[in-house]
Structure 1
Amino acid sequence: MGIMAYLANADSASFTELVEALDATRGNLSVQIRKLEDAGYISVDKRIVDRKPLTTCRITRPGRKAFNDYLEAISGVLGLKPD
């Protein structure tokens, strides 16, 4: 959920930025990104910049909708919105 929350408020984020912001291990974050990409919730761009790999993630429209639906469901369970 951390990846989705971060990307919902950012245009995009590099892998390194996500590692630092979420205090996640690289291996764990890599697995989570792959699962979100496979689900179509984020898009991943991998390229070489100045001879170094750069991985950038963006939330997709279906990902944003799924995340918003999740937030609404959680708000309902917690009683944070009227029925």
Structure 2
Amino acid sequence: MSPDVLDPVIHAQARLRIVAALAVIPAGDEIVFPRLRELLSMTAGNLSTHLSKLEAAGYVSQSKTFSGRTPATYIALTPRGRLAFEEYTRALRAMLDAAGQ
């Protein structure tokens, strides 16, 4: 990705917040949907919409299971998502560095 092009999937504010939050979770770990929603102060519907776009791009994975009779959805950043976020932050830094010169 060239330094002057930011990934449009990640660049949307809500999706950037989601990916940034997931990036601090160690690779291989997951976060439960309600906890992510709480951390980001997003509505369930808004979070679901943005997660679907990130999942379609291969950046996040969602696994649904049950805890007893209660459904639980776990969210994780995929290796592809981690790489995309690293490239995004690298491109953003390059843009900021170029602007500061």
Residues matched between the structures, number = 80
| TM-score of the pair, normalised by structure 1 | 0.91
Does 1 or 2 have the higher relative contact order (CA < 8 Å, sep 6+)? 2
Aligned counterpart for 1:5 among listed residues 20, 30, 49: 20
Runs of at least 5 residues in structure 2 that lack an aligned partner in the other structure: 1-15
Q: CA RMSD in A?
A: 1.2
1:24 match: secondary structure? coil
Which consecutive aligned stretches of 4+ in structure 1 deviate over 3 angstroms post-superposition?
Answer: none
The corresponding residue for 2:73 is 55
| Alignment partners' CA distance in 2, 1:65 and 1:76 | 16
Return 5+ residue gaps in structure 1 as ranges: none
Deviations 1:6-62 (A, max 9, x none): 111112211101111001011000001111111100111001112111000111111
Question: What residue number does 2:92 align with?
Answer: 74
Specify the alignment match of 1:44 in structure 2. 62
Of all paired residues, the percent bearing the same amino acid is 41
> When the two structures are superposed, what TM-score results if normalisation uses the length of structure 2?
0.75
Q: CA deviation at 1:77?
A: 1.0
